[in-house]
Structure 1
Amino acid sequence: MPVLVLASASPARLATLRDAGFDPQVIVSGVDESQVAGVPPAELALRLAELKCSAVAGRPEVPLDALVLGCDSVLELDGEALGKPADADDAVRRWHAMRGRSGVLHTGHCLRDVAADQQSAATASTVVHFADLDDDEIEAYVATGEPLHVAGAFTVDGLGGGFVTGIEGDHHNVVGVSLPLLRGLVRELGHRWTDLWSR
């Protein structure tokens, strides 16, 4: 059976995949995300996922029978793509703009079958509704450091979960990897989802 390789340092993506029955090998891509600019948020997420996947798929330590998964997430708010905040002040500014509103979390997925030299890619998009936080809540949340390490400066599976009032779409996509979309990519490449489960 193929070996799943996750081209991401995201602990949330790794945990989601493990909870879904997989035991992926992690190889961080090291891609400079600033090299892609000037494209719409959904396309940005997909392009970065493809770059991360490509950067890892060609490495010598990748098993020859690997399926390499690259992912990248951005939050779209007012047409702007928001990745990880630059610093705490940036995170505070973002939450001032986000509170009481909704955004769209886009996660690009790129899956490459190394042995077959084929890949399939797509973007999942989920609407996220944010609570109307007061200034003290924003300051306290940013002070935890959590928002500094994630796209859109929030989590739904961590301390930020209480600040998300609802979602429309795939919950796992907001965490960082859409399991239904990934299953579709696995099938497009001719593999069975259940065969990838760790035994």
Structure 2
Amino acid sequence: MREIVLASASPRRKELLRQLIGDNFKIVPGSYHEKPQPEMPVLDLIIHNSREKAREVASLVSFGIVIAADTVVLCDGEIIGKPHTKDKAREMLRKISGKKIHVVTGLTVIDIDANLQKSTSETTGVRIKIMQDAEIEGYIETSEPLDKAGAFAIQGKGAIIVERIEGDYFNVVGLPLFRLNTILRELGVDVLEMT
């Protein structure tokens, strides 16, 4: 069985990958930090970030398949990041209230043994309900919006502010499983054989 390496410390990505391939992987988080690159189109930047994360971790391991992802939330075409304070979370939640936002993940998979690299992206549309101030405050008090892209977690209490999605649900959580499986199959990895 091929060694699979997840280049992320995200507990959400860990759980999603476990859903796909069981415990047949190890985690090697890198130290790559995204840098603002205003001259680069958003989609290119997200793929670039996933590629750099994957390359950094691939340089630390000697064999296997490395998986890296970078997920952002776009509102009105602009990246909204992760709030680290309640004030920032409040600002972000007011911004996305009543809007259709887009969750975009750049995904890179490197097969070290075959010296192959595949990068792609996945976009999911998410319609956010119109939120009243009291609802925003109540959600902030759960602390769930802190350090989440777009200030909400669809897999948690944030589900109550999501009216509907168009596309891959798992992409909104942080790892587009359908797209990942497609790449793994191209590299000769059958997830149905991994338990």
Structure 1 length-normalised TM:
0.90
Q: Give the alignment partner of residue 74 of structure 1, picking from 72, 75, 79.
A: 72
Are residue 30 (structure 1) and residue 51 (structure 2) matched?
A: no
Unaligned stretches of 5+ residues in structure 2: none
* Counterpart residue type for residue 2 of structure 2: P
2:41 corresponds to: 40
Structure 2 length-normalised TM:
0.92
* Counterpart residue type for residue 190 of structure 2: R
Q: Is the 8 A contact 1:36 1:47 kept in 2?
A: no
2:51 corresponds to: 50
Which segments of structure 1 move beyond 3 Å, counting only runs of 4 or more?
35-38
- How many Å separate the matches in 2 of 1:161 and 1:46? 27
Percent identical residues: 35
Secondary structure in 1 aligned to 2:138?
A: helix
Are residue 132 (structure 1) and residue 133 (structure 2) matched?
A: no
Deviation string, structure 1 residues 67-103 (Cα, Å, up to 9, x no partner): 1001010011111012212432221111111011110
Q: Tell me how many residue pairs correspond in the alignment.
A: 194
- How many Å separate the matches in 1 of 2:187 and 2:175? 18
Residue 39 of structure 1: CA displacement? Answer: 2.7
**Alpha carbons of structure 1 residues 98 and 7: separation in structure 2 relative to 1, 3 Å:** same
Q: Is the 8 A contact 1:33 1:48 kept in 2?
A: yes
Secondary structure in 2 aligned to 1:69?
A: strand
Are residue 104 (structure 1) and residue 102 (structure 2) matched?
A: yes
Are residue 193 (structure 1) and residue 194 (structure 2) matched?
A: no
**Alpha carbons of structure 1 residues 49 and 81: separation in structure 2 relative to 1, 3 Å:** same
